[in-house]
Chain A
């Protein structure tokens, strides 16, 4: 089965949030809508500080909870695996918002409807890259065909990502890297 998804290189993400706001700019999103969200993840390692930034949009899951729970059948999984939402049919009940483990569906108080990342299907169809990927200065974000890539060295999850077993998200990660640090005199 064809499955389009995202490859996020957390060792390269700068946490600059350009992807997140480029998406709002491209779609003219409402004040409270974040189709893509960047968060900071810090943990302790034996080698020092672990710090990476996690940029997440819709993960276009293999088993999308939004699709399963929506009472109005506003979600559809395309043949290429992209999960699209028809906001025209949405009555803003937010069942999907509560069900999605990743916070992908976003309610807009102005329109009273939910919408989410559609992986820029109209741009992909026109041969363009998604707005977020295009805005990334450090090549940390890429669209991939999960059915075609070699997953050697890639991770299916990283710290703070909610449990992936329920929905099987179409996202892969290059692992975080901790390099040489001198933090203080022992």
Chain B
């Protein structure tokens, strides 16, 4: 009989599943969902079911490696001692040369969101002021729209969606990116709810919808303005709610009179009948919920577009009640935890790091001087999943040492000198909350670390030990410890009382749900300066943004590059992760470029024809797949094109900044869906 352990999926994902891991003779033999988890209800997704293959993949790196020369692919095993000594001596040498730790760069993202994985952050805090990357390419613009409107990013319990009469899924494809939510959406439907999908791509979620609208990408704000205008014209707005809880609606009403339905039709490419139909459905069926997707805010006008969509809830009073509300990821339940690992150093010795923009990493590394960045610690991240990948190459080549900490070599590894293998969640202790649901589980080691892999926490302890051996007192991060004690450190009395437990070990019997409001904003006390929902935001105005959610034109295709290239998530990968696993990719065909059949006909292309897709930044060659799911001016390639040394899909992405993002994330995000290309037969 296999022994069963509990693990958590630490990926950057809505579901944060609890996993049951079956172990025989010290080997993970299979995984299953955890029936004790009320949100994921015993199911994993395709990626989750592939974990056994991921853990034992022959491609997984299990020993420290050194690549010499850089870019050669000539990776040779070295000992941990050699690796740590090389890294520590480089850090000390840079400190000596520049009288500063700022030549040491630290770049980590969301490859593993576990709280113990912040150990790397704390390790560098322990040195003092280094150079860290700031911002993310994920959710920044939409997050700021919520912050300007409501003051903080709070949202309902996603299980409350069962109480909705209308659910608007706006620019989100949960069938592929949050599959467990589909159960709650379906339950709402069986209780009579109508599901609306608004998306420039007819997705698997759209195929489930009662009503689907396909606006031009980036025109969501115009669509929302048309809806708001129709609501007000028909007096479907909630007078009482507006009078008590909404700031600046009068000015917004005046703005709405200045727009015409003809203009909305022209911007969105949708007929006015469609706009009226969706508005009537949303405004007249209470309670109604809107889920603003992450895709929709990845435009140069994405933040303003989200702000405009949020006003629809304020106009109709769809806030603070069961079944109503606005959905977006929220880190609020995370804030209950102690961040014992992340704040290990800074809770005692605050550190001011030098911050550079992660979304322009190549350019930022190049222009950073006095002192320049000479070394990079790269953790849980493939740099080539962002835009501006062309400029990145030169900047990385200029660095004297690049250390990569991960489980697999990825496209960034071409530039790395040392690779440190880390454990998967099955080989370590950890805990992490969800940014979507309210369930908390625990992650216990199910198997011993494979090969010589070490947890991020162990690596941080070991490097601190090596640094302090060479230069006593140089790093204030601990040099040893016990992982499980650090997990315990992440809990506190508040978390325990909200979970109704006395000890984190009780979670080994099954995840528990936080006592946490099912409904956001029930008290109607928003965290804005006016304590109201701010349609008109003086905060936004003071930060250089429009006072009102007025429309700003989306980026449009230049004459030379008439097609918009969109790169949404597939069901088989999570950004750069999982797509190296045959269980998820074998037999599914070469990644392709989706093209509308009418466009294909015009260009004389048939299914499978190879095309060269190009713009001023690069080119790649693809087979095409004809699909009416997208507009004639749009091309779609789902994430996962494997790339090559010469060509990366992301080389084509120009990475203009989004209009918002600095407030919540420090930097604007990338307008990744405002990429324009041309194509011709290859």
Contacts and interface: CB of A to CB of B under 8 A. Distances in A.
Given A21-B50, A49-B628, 6 more contacts: A14-B175, A17-B584, A180-B210, A181-B212, A181-B214, A182-B274
Nearest to B45: A18
A52 B31 CA distance: 28
Given A22-B49, A182-B212, A185-B271, A17 B571 contact: yes
Nearest to A186: B271
B49 A18 contact: yes
Kindly name the residue among B45, B207, B214, B582 whose own CB sees the greatest number of chain A CB atoms within 10 A. B207
Interface size grouping (class) on chain B: 35 or more
A25 B586 contact: no
B29 A17 contact: no
A26 B30 contact: yes
Interface string B305-335: 0000000000000000000000000000000
Contacts of A138: 179, 182-183, 186
Given A28-B30, A42-B629, A138-B186, A180 B44 contact: no
Given A15-B204, A135-B43, A185 B265 contact: yes
B162 to A, nearest CB: 15
A116 interface: no
Contact of B46 (A21, A28, A32, A180): A21
Given A25-B30, A31-B582, A49 B629 contact: yes
Given A51-B202, A179-B212, A181-B214, A14 B179 contact: yes
Contacts of A22: 44, 46, 49
A49 B32 CA distance: 35
A65 interface: no
Contacts of B202: 49, 51, 181, 183
Interface in A125-167: 134-139
Contacts, number: 132
A25 B52 contact: yes
Nearest to A178: B207
B204 A14 contact: yes
A186 B273 CA distance: 11
B564 interface: no
Contact of A14 (B50, B176, B209): B176
B587 interface: yes
B269 A185 contact: yes
Interface string B169-195: 000000110011011001000000000
A175 B31 CA distance: 33
A32 to B, nearest CB: 6
B631 interface: yes
A22 B572 CA distance: 13
A113 interface: no
A182 B213 contact: yes
A77 interface: no
* A28, A51, A136, A137 interface centre (most CB from chain B within 10 Å): A137
Interface string A23-36: 01110110110100
Given A17-B46, A21-B50, A184-B269, A52 B207 contact: yes
A115 interface: no
Given A183-B214, A184-B631, A34 B183 contact: no
B436 to A, nearest CB: 15
B586 A32 contact: yes
A63 to B, nearest CB: 26
A37 B587 contact: yes
Given A31-B582, A182-B213, A16 B571 contact: yes
23 contacts: A14-B208, A15-B571, A16-B175, A16-B179, A16-B204, A18-B179, A21-B49, A24-B53, A25-B51, A29-B583, A31-B583, A34-B587, A37-B587, A42-B627, A49-B628, A51-B204, A53-B204, A138-B179, A179-B211, A181-B206, A181-B211, A181-B212, A182-B271
